Amino acid sequence: MTQVRFGIIGIGNMGSAHATSITGGQVPELQLVAVADRRASRRQWAAETLPADVTVFSEGKELIASGLVDAVLIAVPHYQHPELAEDAFAHGLHVLSEKPAGVYTKQVREENAAAAKSGLTFAMMFNQRTNSVYRKMHDIVQGGEFGAIMRVNWIITDWFRTQAYYDSGDWRGTWNGEGGGVLLNQCPHQLDLLQWICGMPSEIQAFAQNGHWHDIEVEDDVTAYLKYPNGATGVFVTSTGDYPGTNRFEVTMERGKIVCDGGRLTLFRLDENIRDVCQHSEQAFARPVVHAELVETDGSNPQHVGILRNFGQHLLTGAPLIARGEEGINGLTVSNMIHLSSWLGRPVTAPIDEDLFLAELNERRAASHAKKAGSDVAIDLTDTY
């Protein structure tokens, strides 16, 4: 096999971008042979835009059952990700899923089990993991040279959205349409990077405010306090109401501190472990030498195309996946813990009570003003990057 026969389910904003990346020759590992979308307008776009030998389906399940493809990319509304992935596994297809893996971890846990049972490849479109800056942070924090994490602080408030944005689809900003707000739509990448770089928190107390800046059902302003198993703590702040926002991610470790601010990476390196200095120094006001440096990276940031190529290379040559599908549950777990803590007004410890979360979510879905998830409008303009 020199190319993977590839299908894309959902050709809204993201799915269509992936399709044209492939047909435009940027992803030689994949051959686009089929797409699917419930909306006639998107199928018309496909017929007019994509090569004539790309088959167009109206239902993802038809594409999956067609026998035309070896693998699918799922780029439909959040709630449908696990269902379609499981259907694909049942038909012997490999799966690349857009983020988030799903809306609630119980659903994604079943998806992961189906993937494991199938023995097929399951990957996540966590394209931010291809960013050289975050890869470098991951290597620095997880590499061990700087010791244990002591504190994490990520202010990621550069997600400004207008009311017009939320009004652009009646599923937007609703419990039934999206399953959440800034946590589910904008932040899945950051929540994945947070756990990829810093590990999973063991307890969260969060303050998610619904409709704080917009007329929407779901949260558009979130502050979360995180506790880690080793005693470290962290803060994660996000919003779609701030402008100009901030993207500043800081990790303090025993032998140094790394700060990513506006894409610039600064490392503060210590010669000693500060915990040793704290405990054993005879000086009350010890000020060990700090070596500050701008960190150079390899500069590579192939984003979505990088994930698509990696997925193809994995299938063709066994190259390691950048983001295994089974890891999608981690960032979603953080997201679900933030929601549940905010809803209950108390700390939530790991493992999250998945049944309680789902019951609370379903209460909100029952009262939701959105059309039924998966309705025709539900896959227009999925914005991500």
| Residue of 24, 25, 285, 298 that binds a second copy (CB under 8 A) | 285
What minimum distance in Å lies between the beta carbon of 239 and a second copy?
7
What minimum distance in Å lies between the beta carbon of 167 and a second copy?
8
| Residue of 168, 202, 362, 384 that binds a second copy (CB under 8 A) | 168
Tokens of 116: 């494991």
What minimum distance in Å lies between the beta carbon of 164 and a second copy?
5
Q: Which stretch binds a second copy (CB under 8 A): 39-47, 161-169, 299-307, 312-320?
A: 161-169
Cα(214)–Cα(235) distance, integer angstroms: 23
Task: Check residue 383 for interaction with a second copy (CB under 8 A).
Answer: yes
Is 377 within 8 Å of 236 (Cβ atoms)? no
Task: Check residue 51 for interaction with a second copy (CB under 8 A).
Answer: no
Cβ closer to a second copy: 4 or 208? 208
Whole-angstrom distance between the N-terminal and C-terminal Cα of the chain? 30
| Residue of 23, 66, 281, 362 that binds a second copy (CB under 8 A) | 281
Q: Which positions from 203 to 242 touch a second copy by CB under 8 A, shown as an x/- string?
A: --x-x-x--xxx------x-x-x-----x-x-x-x-x-xx
Q: Which residues of 10-27 are buried (b: 16+ CB within 10 A; e: fewer)?
A: bbbebbbbbbebbbeebb
Q: Is 272 exposed, middle or buried (0-12, 13-18, 19+ CB in 10 A)?
A: middle
DSSP letter, residue 3: S
Is 347 within 8 Å of 153 (Cβ atoms)? no
What minimum distance in Å lies between the beta carbon of 230 and a second copy?
12
Is 301 within 8 Å of 132 (Cβ atoms)? yes
Of the candidates 64, 108, 66, 106, the residue with the CA atom closest to the CA atom of residue 89: 64
Q: How many helices (H) and strands (E) does the chain have?
A: 12, 15
Cβ closer to a second copy: 248 or 371? 248
- Collect contacts of 50-59 with beta carbons under 8 A, ≥24 apart: 50/19, 50/20, 50/23, 51/23, 54/19, 54/23
What minimum distance in Å lies between the beta carbon of 290 and a second copy?
5
Cβ closer to a second copy: 199 or 241? 241
What minimum distance in Å lies between the beta carbon of 297 and a second copy?
22
Cβ closer to a second copy: 114 or 155? 155
Cα(360)–Cα(272) distance, integer angstroms: 47
Q: Is the bond leading into 351 cis (omega within 30 degrees of zero)?
A: yes
Task: Check residue 161 for interaction with a second copy (CB under 8 A).
Answer: yes
What minimum distance in Å lies between the beta carbon of 175 and a second copy?
20
What minimum distance in Å lies between the beta carbon of 134 and a second copy?
20
What minimum distance in Å lies between the beta carbon of 45 and a second copy?
19
| Residue of 48, 282, 296, 298 that binds a second copy (CB under 8 A) | 282
Which 238-277 positions form the footprint of a second copy (CB under 8 A)?
239, 241-246, 248, 250, 252, 257, 259, 268, 270, 274-275, 277
Cβ closer to a second copy: 142 or 233? 233
Cβ closer to a second copy: 47 or 286? 286
SS3 22: helix
Bridge partner residues of 9 (DSSP)? 36, 74
Residues binding a second copy: number (CB under 8 A): 56
What are the backbone dihedrals phi and psi of residue 61, each rounded to the nearest 5 degrees, phi first? Answer: -70, -30
What minimum distance in Å lies between the beta carbon of 162 and a second copy?
5
Cα(205)–Cα(202) distance, integer angstroms: 11
Cβ closer to a second copy: 215 or 298? 215
Cα(183)–Cα(191) distance, integer angstroms: 8
Q: Given the rule CB under 8 A, which residues bind a second copy?
A: 150-151, 153, 155, 157, 160-165, 168, 205, 207, 209, 212-214, 221, 223, 225, 231, 233, 235, 237, 239, 241-246, 248, 250, 252, 257, 259, 268, 270, 274-275, 277-288, 290, 381, 383
